[in-house]
Structure 1
Amino acid sequence: MDVPAFQALISRITDEIALIPLDSALESYLNAQHGPGSHLYELIFEACKAGVRDGWLCNRESDGIRFGRVLKATDATHGFSVDVVEMEDIAGPHHVHPNGEIDLIMPLTPGACFDSRPAGWCVYEAGSAHRPTVTQGRALVLYLLPQGAITFTQLAA
């Protein structure tokens, strides 16, 4: 697995969802069609683990979170950027999703959750915000961001 092969793999899902609104219906669809145990979920999970192992994914670190944008938003990914983070029992920086965010949760520790959600897909609508949090272990989380849009915020302590 390398970055071009990863891009081809991710474009399979971004092609399928490119024109679908980011909402709970999309989340339900993704979990029904491509949830844990499905062929595409397992391919993406294995590709992410290989990318971390080989050093081209999650190749930056700050405050205990490994992360990195592996693909910019281009036509090849149907306007989605792709970031992957590795987190263990930690909350990340608060941010807003101007155009929404689609997350693929891949627990490395059985039972690990992202924003209180188990393995699978999570969709945040445009304008939503959160402080991404992994609990009960370690997980990889893949973020699809329409047009690569994300705004990090400063919250009062």
Structure 2
Amino acid sequence: MNSINWSTEFLPGKTDNFVSNEVIATGITLADVWANLVDTSKWETYYDNATNIELSDKSDSNLHFAETFHFDTFGFPIDAQVMELVAPYDGQVARLAWHGWQNGDADTQFDVYHAFLIEKLADGRIRLLTQESQIGKPAAELAQQDPNPMLNGHQKWLDGLVKAARQN
């Protein structure tokens, strides 16, 4: 199966926290999932853990390659930059990834790499994978919680994406 493209710094298993969530669904299209994922104006309609979203390019609400943006999630104000953006075109696997951070001191500095992969499978199925690798003391503290709030939160994001795609 296809996988996330990781930089060495964020390689899973080498960071303070890592979560992976996956859904395989039918009755949705790659295009509908993608439209709901890259259009940040839709995030709050299906995922209540992403708020105060503000893009650097105010000409539209879609994420663009290398664009910077801000949003609040899991109680953290996150600044981010889109690092990978590959639309689903001609059978290509769709990919979206960003580097996110919260500046601060040794106790509050937080760096993440969050990626989504969406691919068409046989028999009308769509695979949605999201993974996030995190560095910093806040990440280590999240990793110690049971259940890990990132794991549950990101599952809600994928489940919300599927539900939103079904409503298109």
| TM-score normalised to structure 1 length | 0.30
User: Does 1 or 2 have the higher relative contact order (CA < 8 Å, sep 6+)?
Assistant: 2
Which protein is bigger by CA-based radius of gyration? Answer: 2
TM-score by length of 2: 0.29
